[in-house]
Each structure stands twice: as C-alpha cells, then as structure tokens.
Amino acid sequence: MKGKKIVLLILALLLPACIFLMLKRFGKNQFDVTPLFTEEIPELPSDCSERKVSIPYHIPDSVLNRLPFNSDSLLCIHFDEGSAEANDQLQRVVEQFATDPLQVTSSNSLTNSDWRQCIFFLKEPFNVVVVDRKGRIRGQYEAEDRDEIDRLITEVTILLKKY
C-alpha cells in the first residue's frame, strides 16, 4: 500500500511539471489590442451625419496624410489641452516611450475642430486617441485619469510588442 502511495505522489508531482515544460516549449504568449470600430458603426453626432462610415473603420486618407507619422509609428493625439494633471499624465507617456516610434501631439496644431467627434469618434470624457499607421483607431482614453493613462501605456507596449 505504501509503494502505491509513493507512485501516486510521484505522478501527481510529475504531471504538472510535464505540462509546464510542454507549454514552455511549444506555447507562445501573444497579446493583441484590437482596433476599435471594426464590427459596428459608431453613433455619430448630428453635425457629422453627412459622413459615410464603412466597417471596418479607417481614418480617411485626407486626414491621415495631415497627421505627423514617422515610418512605422503610432500617434497619440490629445484634445482639450490645458489641464495640469493631463499634461503630467501625458508626460509619463512621453518619458515611457522616448526611444520608441510613438508620437505624442496635441490637436491644436493639426486637426480641425470637428475631427474629435466626426473622425476620431471621441465622446466625453475621452480626450486622447491612439491611431496606428494604417489609420485604425487603437484606443480612446481620458488624459486626467491615471488608470486610463496606465491602460494607454500597457496597450501601446502591446502594440509595439515590447512585453
């Protein structure tokens, strides 16, 4: 009886170790941040009703060409500048990705006033959007909220595959 218990104990310890080794050898952890507005059309404000939106949504080329992209970068656009807390939080993003292909910019210098709602579909309280080089919206965030900026940092890290 004692020998049977020892065999069962060894098997009980060996099975998880074998599963771990198999997953370590053959498994691959890969995270993904899916683009927004790929399956349903966002609700547009009444002053944007003349725009035709197709699914999956891509930012129009006329807008994309005006955005300050580098070769293969992400763009983080902040609308409604002015809050000290928002500026501090966005400075964290700039410092975190100082050597990476992420451009952080304000909307004042490059966007029309209706782009916030009609192009990037930002609704209150969101005032930051991340766009990839292909013109897909990858995330919408609230600049004054530390948790939201932490989520932005995590999602950009995943998009840059630096995890």
What is the pLDDT, as a whole number, of residue 55? 86
Measured CA angle at 48 (ends 43, 51), to 5 deg = 95
Measured CA angle at 67 (ends 61, 69), to 5 deg = 105
Structure tokens at 83: 């809050």
Enumerate the domain spans of the chain.
Answer: 33-159
**Run means of pLDDT, 10 residues per run, the chain, 163 residues:** 86 90 84 88 76 85 82 82 84 91 77 78 89 91 93 92 67
Structure tokens at 88: 């501090």
Owner of token pair 């771990």: 20
Report pTM. 0.76
CATH T-level topology, domain 33-159: Glutaredoxin (3.40.30)
What is the pLDDT, as a whole number, of residue 139? 94
3-state secondary structure of 60: coil
Sheet holding 102-106, edge to edge: 102-106, 74-78, 128-131, 137-141
